[in-house]
Each structure stands twice: as C-alpha cells, then as structure tokens.
Chains A and B, each alone.
Chain A
Amino acid sequence: MPWAFLLRRLASAAVLLLIVLSATFALIYVAPGDPFSAMLLDPRVGADAVAALRAHYGLDQPLVARYLRWLVTMLSGDWGPSYVSGRPAFDLLREALPYTALLAGAATLVQYLIGLPLGALAAVRADRVADHAVRVVSLLLYAMPSFWLALLAMELFTVRLGWLPTGAPDFPPDLALGEQIARALRHVALPAATLGVALSADVLRYTRNGLLDVLQQDHVRAARARGLGARRVLWRHALPTAAGPLVHHAGVQLPALFSGVLIIEVIFAWPGVGRIAYDAILSRDLPVVLAATALSGALVVLGTLGADLLHGLIDPRTRRA
C-alpha cells in the first residue's frame, strides 16, 4: 500500500489548508468593519458596551497576538465562540453537518441516477438519434445555472403545485423515527433534485466519453467477437473498466459539489454548513468562517483522497503506474 504517498498528500493538504485559513484570517482582519460595528448605529447601544464586547472576544488585540492565539486554540480543537450568537463555532457546524451530508448525498445520488444511464445510452448508441438527443440534454443541463433552476423548481413545486416543502424540516420531540426520516426526505427532495440535475451534465459527458473509449478496446472487442450479447459485453466487460476513471472523477468534482451545496443551501434556506458559512461571511463572524472553511476544505481533501484510493482498488492499472 502506498502509505508514504498517502501521508505526503495529507500533509501537503494540511499545509495548504493552513495557508488558506491564515489568508482568510488576515483578509477579515484588514477588511473594514466587524460584527459589532453595526451595533454602534443603534442609539441604545453605547460605545463602551461595544468596546467591552470587542475586548471580550479579543478583537482589540493586535493581529499577530490574535493570530497566534487562534492558531493555538484551533490546534487544540477549540474554534472559539461565534461573534454573533456566542455559541461555539464547532457546535454550530456539528449541528449543520448532518443537513449538508443529507443534501450532498441525495444530490450525488440524483446526479448519478441521471448521468450514468444517459451517458451509457449515448455511448452504446454513439452517433445515433439517442446519442444526439442525450448530448443536447447534457448541454442544456450544463448551461442551466443551478440558482436559476432552483428558483424555477421552487416556483413550480412549492408555490404553484404545493407538492414539496422547502427550508428546514422541524422535528417535534415526540415524532416517531419513521416520520422523522420521511419528513427529512420530503424537505431535502427539492434542493437535492435541483443540485443533482445541475451537476449531472458532467457525469453524463464523462460516462459517455469514458465508455466510448472502453468500447473500442481490445478486450471488449474480443468479448464481442466471442459472440457475447451486447448487454453482457456492456455489463461484464465495458462498465467495470470505465468505472475506475468515473470514481476518480467523483473525487475531482467534490469542490464543485461543495460550491453547489453552498448556493442551493442559501436559496432553499437549508440549515447546512454552506448556509452557516454564507451568513458568517456576510456578518464577518471570523471564528465561524474559519471553522467552516477548514471543515469543507478537509472534507474535500479527504473525499478526493478516498476516491483516489477506491480508484486504485477498482482499477489495477493505476497501481502499477
């Protein structure tokens, strides 16, 4: 197993993440205003109260002192309290993470449920009517901005038809588990479908091109020559070979998935990590911004790494390389 390689990648990812976090820290420091400057506009709040708040959160300290303190506490797992709510940034994100995981997971499912069959269909029927139709669809899906699609979907399914809710599901304490799951699924359906549809063009294109490539390869042609049926050739010989690059691609597109999650969470008022990060950025809630950046960065790095390892397991060719 390539443990040294794995460690090196993890280490360089950690260094990169630290650089990004430090840059964010510095940027928020030099940017004008902090979460408390807006309070000064309120005539009921005195300047000394705001100064006391700033001192409480250490905002009156010089940059280097604040940075060093953040670095030390961060490495010990304490991301500090949110300037806005006063609650630990870590807790805010821990509560939001399941929502983001549900949304991202469901969206990925939709993405592959659309992209894989359509891409395979286009490859098998290359240059026939079905192929051209699928390629037109994929072009449309690619060009459709997810935020626009989200608005249209909300308008149609929530407002006009009233079929699906948006926003956060609420769980009264006495709700049965099955009902909880059903409620969560109903609420996630629209955001996940929107995001999945918007991201599926990429999978579709990738599946089609990868499979086209594989269908030309000797072992597939040999299988065909032995008289195996088209379906068997596809399932037993072509798809497994094409699966490796697809898994790799799933890792590569994780940053795009995260960006999409952020926009969709903002539009659908979905209480995930992206929405928390967006609100925190707008209100300059530095501890939450840093924690959210670190969390999403770490998830993307780990996800990419996981996809690469899986790719190695599925596709023996990459191991020798």
Chain B
Amino acid sequence: MDGGFTIGLWALTLVALAAIVAPWLAPHPPNAQPDLVGGRLRAPGTTLHAVQLRDGRTWLADAVARTPEGLRILRGGTWTTRGVDEITNLTDDGVADRWRYWLGSDRFSRDLLSRLLHGARTSLLIAVLSIALALSLGLAVGAVAALAGGAVDALLMRIVDGLLTLPWLMVLITLSALVRPSTGTLIALLGASGWMGLSRIVRGEMRGLLQRDFVRAAVAMGAGRLYLLRRHLLPHVWTPVVISVTLALGSVILAEAALSFLGLGVPPTTPSWGGMIADGRLDMLRAWWVTTVPGAALVITVIAVNLVGDGLRDRLDPRRA
C-alpha cells in the first residue's frame, strides 16, 4: 500500500493547500449571488456573458446580440433589450466580461467552485482544531490514569467506557440544536466527543511502558512523575497516537458534514461541504452537480486521510503492520 500512502499524501496536501489559499484561489466570493434569474443551477463548465448594468447589478446572459441602440440579451429564457447608456461594459460585439461556472452553480446562482474551496477551509479547520482538542483531552486523561493507577485509573476508565457507549451523533445533534453552534462551539463539541478512544490508547501504551526496564530504572533512580512523562512516556506514545489521530480525522470530517447537512453544524452563511450537499437536495433532479461536487470532495478527502493513516501505521508501527 506504499503507493496508496503517496497518493493520499499528495491529495491531502492539495486539499489543505486549496483550503489555505481559498480566498485568493476562489474566482468569486462564496456567498455571492450574482444573478438569480440568469445564473441559477448552471451546469459545470458554463460560460455566460456578464452584462454590467449601470445600477450596479450583473445580468448573466446565455447570449447577447449587439444592436445600434444597445444590446439584446437572452437571460432566463427570454430576450430583453437594454440601451447603450444602461450598460457599463458594452463592446462592439457584446459585453467585455464573462462569468464562468467551472463546477456549476446552485439555485441561488452561487459559484460551486468558490464554495467548494471555502468549504474545504471550514471542514479542515474544524477537523484539525477539534482533533487537537480531543488529543489534549485524551493525552491528559490517559496519562493521569496510567500514572495514578488504582482507583483513579479504574474510575477514569469506567467513565471512558460509559461515554463510548453513547450514540454520539444523537448527543451532538441534541447539543447543537440547543446551542446553535458557531464554528468555535462546533469545534468544542466535536473535540469533547472524540477523546475517549485516544485516552484508552495512551493509557494502554503508558502502562506497558511503565513495566519496561528503562522506565523502572528511571523510577528506581528517583525520577518524578512529570520527568517520567516528559522524558520517557510521551516520546514513546507518539507513534500510536499520531496514527489514530490521522484516522480519526476522517471520521471528524464526516461527522461535521453530517451535522451541517442536518442544518445543525456551522451557520448557513459559512460554506461547508455538508451544507452544500443539503442545499442541493431540492434540485437533485434538475441539477445533479450541486450535491455531487461537494460529495465527491468529501469522499476524496476522507479517502486521502485514510490512505495516509494506513500508510503511517505500516511505516511507523512494525507490530501492527
């Protein structure tokens, strides 16, 4: 699966880069609704004539024909005529500007490519930050349980076991329906619901390490708990933690998309892949691309994350390869 790792890494890098430079790469603002009549549900690859009117509006026209008095415009299935003085970007044979929908448009004439790029930003930002939160919680609880042992360990692991049996999507739906999350609270919710598996892994690894000779030697020489943690335990749990964090990234991306799809994730003005899929639901018959474009992006990203996670496991962890 070495090829898989390389492909996954490349794909993930591309998605991450696209997310970072989205504001500069996106041809249009993600929420711009240029023309609800002329730009609604356009197929991928459509190029339209962008007629700039003097009152500031833009008309997206399928075809234009220059006449001596002005311009005849085919927009939304009907021909209309506008005079020379009403249009600001008139040329000898039409208008100077074009509007391209590389990946098509939705029912509000919003550009799907721009929304996709900005949505990548939303998805990855939420996924990475909530995983970081889950990682901190998981490391803290796992380390405390392993080092303290005894009753503290038993209690913490009992709590973890209990939390693992909760249907988390349902809990998340309840919580986000009640608090109407901003991006920040959504990160907190996803992070707070995803640390249990990690804490188990950290605890297991650390307890194993505590039995090893080099750690016992350090303990015998009077090493304190913090020193042990920093010097001997953390450096050695890094490998399994990195692997499971990478794999968890995929499920967090999917969970965020599911919440946004249900209208309970990021606010509707923030473009997100799950929200885009939901936006396209009503138009599936007329415009397959509105749901397919964000769906495909989601699938590709999650596959890439998993290829990288599997590849890391094969490379870093010879025991489980």
Q: Which residues of A contact B (CB under 8 A)?
A: 12-13, 16, 20, 24, 27-28, 31, 135, 139-140, 142-148, 151-152, 154-155, 159, 252, 254-255, 258-260, 262-263, 266, 274, 277-278, 281-282, 284, 289, 293, 296-297, 300-301, 304
Stretch from B27-35, B74-82, B254-262 at the A interface: B254-262
Pick from B167, B173, B300: contact of A278, CB under 8 Å = B173
**Which among A252, A255, A289, A297 has the greatest number of chain B C-beta atoms within 10 A?**
A255
Known interface pairs A16-B162, A142-B302, A145-B257; A151-B281 also in contact (CB < 8 Å) = yes
State which residues 150-191 of B face A: CB under 8 Å: 158, 161-171, 173-175, 177-179
Considering the complex, give the chain B residue whose CB is closest to the CB of A259.
B169
The docked-state distance in angstroms from the alpha carbon of A259 to that of B250 is 16
| B199 at interface, CB cutoff 8 A | no
| Contact assessment for A266 and B306 in the assembled complex, using a CB-CB cutoff below 8 Å | no
Contact of B277 among A151, A155, A278 (CB under 8 A): A151
In the complex, what residues of A have CB within 8 A of residue B262's CB? Answer: 263, 266, 278
Q: Does B124 contact A (CB under 8 A)?
A: no
Please, how many angstroms separate the alpha-carbon atoms of A152 and B277 in the complex?
11
B306 pairs with A143, CB closer than 8 A: yes
A297 surroundings in chain B (CB, below 8 A):
165-167
Q: Is the Cβ of A300 less than 8 Å from the Cβ of B165?
A: yes
Report which B residues bind A (CB closer than 8 A): 1, 158, 161-171, 173-175, 177-179, 250, 254, 257-258, 261-262, 274, 277, 281, 284-285, 288, 291, 295, 298-300, 302-303, 306-307
Q: Is A281's CB under 8 angstroms from B166's CB? A: no
Given contacts A145-B254, A282-B177, contact A20 B166 (CB under 8 A): yes
* A151 CB contact (under 8 Å) in B291, B302, B303, B307: B291
Q: Please give 8 more A-B residue pairs, beta carbons under 8 A apart, in addition to A151-B284, A262-B170.
A: A145-B261, A145-B295, A145-B298, A255-B167, A258-B169, A259-B167, A263-B262, A274-B170
Q: CB-CB < 8 A to A31: which residues of B?
A: 178-179
Residues of A within 8 A of B174 (CB): 24, 27, 281, 289, 293
A159 touching B171 in the complex, CB below 8 Å, given contacts A12-B158, A143-B303, A147-B277: no
**Nearest Cβ in chain B — how far from A285, in angstroms?**
11
Chain B nearest Cβ from A91, distance in angstroms: 21
State whether B302 touches A263 (Cβ < 8 A). no
Contact A296 B170 (CB under 8 A): yes
